[in-house]
């Protein structure tokens, strides 16, 4: 099945070049399903459709594309940043970008990026849950976690935090062990939403009862009982503080 692709680019000639390269060399694997020329338009497209792969410029009409990642909970697609500037590379990979391509985009580098996406997609299909897999379940306050050996039943209260790793989630437990599960962070958020968990950042899900302190900053930082520091997205700061103060 082809990957649905979204292009976020405010310069038509850059979009047209990328589209030409994709249609000429990767039409069997990738289908362009949308084009957004601004961040608000991109957010609307995210909410109305599903994309497997996103090409995103960083500087869009004077706004920073990383705002999208603060606004949305993005786990189910790969993002490839396209930009004329190399100064954002470290920040791009910090948010788990699949690749970072400098304009003008070369056919060879684009192919390498597409190959990474297809390889990751294949591995996810081979190692992950099949389409239509059942939702994660909570039974008697224990979450049912699928593993390669079968199932593990973990009390929700024993989870300190969950961290996104592409289409996988790493679960950190109070006994200092961790599990890597082939399910997205969004799925864990849905399963644990009634068990005192909050989403301070697109990459993290945190047990409220394990929050030790909040340190001020642009969005701020949560200090957990295991001394882990978790960034709070600036757009979620007020909501997170309100929840913390009410529990």
Is the domain 3-127 a CATH 3.40.50.740 member? no
Averaged pLDDT score across all residues of the chain: 87
pLDDT-wise least confident of 19-23, 112-116, 121-125, 187-191: 121-125
Predicted confidence (pLDDT) at residue 133 exceeds the cutoff of 70? no
Predicted confidence (pLDDT) at residue 153 exceeds the cutoff of 50? yes
pLDDT at 131: 39
Which part of the chain has CATH 2.40.50.1020?
Answer: 137-246
Predicted confidence (pLDDT) at residue 225 exceeds the cutoff of 70? yes
pLDDT at 55: 96
DSSP 182: S
Strand pairing partners for 205?
162
Predicted confidence (pLDDT) at residue 223 exceeds the cutoff of 70? yes
In the chain, DSSP assigns E strands to 3-8, 30-36, 53-57, 59-60, 63-64, 78-83, 99-102, 137-139, 142-147, 150-155, 159-165, 168-173, 178-181, 197-201, 204-207, 211-215, 221-224, 229-231
Which part of the chain has CATH 3.40.50.2300?
Answer: 3-127
User: For the domain bounded by 137-246, which CATH number is listed?
Assistant: 2.40.50.1020
């Amino acid at each position: 099945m082809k990957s649905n692709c979204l292009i976020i680019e405010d310069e038509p000639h850059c979009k047209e070049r990328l589209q030409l390269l994709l249609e000429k060399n990767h039409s069997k694997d990738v289908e362009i399903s949308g084009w957004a020329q601004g961040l608000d338009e991109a957010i609307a497209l995210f909410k109305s459709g599903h994309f497997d792969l996103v090409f995103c410029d960083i500087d869009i009409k004077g706004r920073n594309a990383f705002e999208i990642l603060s606004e949305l909970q993005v786990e189910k697609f790969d993002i490839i940043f396209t930009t004329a500037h190399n100064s954002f590379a470290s920040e791009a990979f910090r948010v788990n970008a699949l690749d970072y391509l400098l304009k003008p985009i070369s056919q060879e580098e684009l192919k390498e990026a597409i190959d990474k996406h297809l390889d990751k997609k294949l591995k996810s299909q081979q190692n992950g849950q099949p389409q239509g897999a059942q939702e994660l379940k909570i039974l008697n306050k224990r979450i049912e976690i699928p593993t390669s050996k079968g199932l593990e039943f973990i009390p929700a209260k024993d989870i300190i935090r969950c961290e996104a790793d592409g289409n996988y989630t790493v679960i950190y437990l109070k006994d200092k062990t961790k599990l890597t599960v082939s399910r997205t962070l969004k799925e864990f958020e849905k399963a644990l939403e009634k068990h005192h968990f909050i989403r301070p950042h697109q990459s993290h899900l945190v047990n409220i009862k394990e929050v030790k302190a909040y340190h001020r900053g642009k969005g701020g930082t949560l200090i957990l009982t295991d001394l882990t520091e978790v960034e709070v997205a600036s757009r979620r700061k007020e909501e997170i503080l309100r929840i913390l103060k009410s529990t």
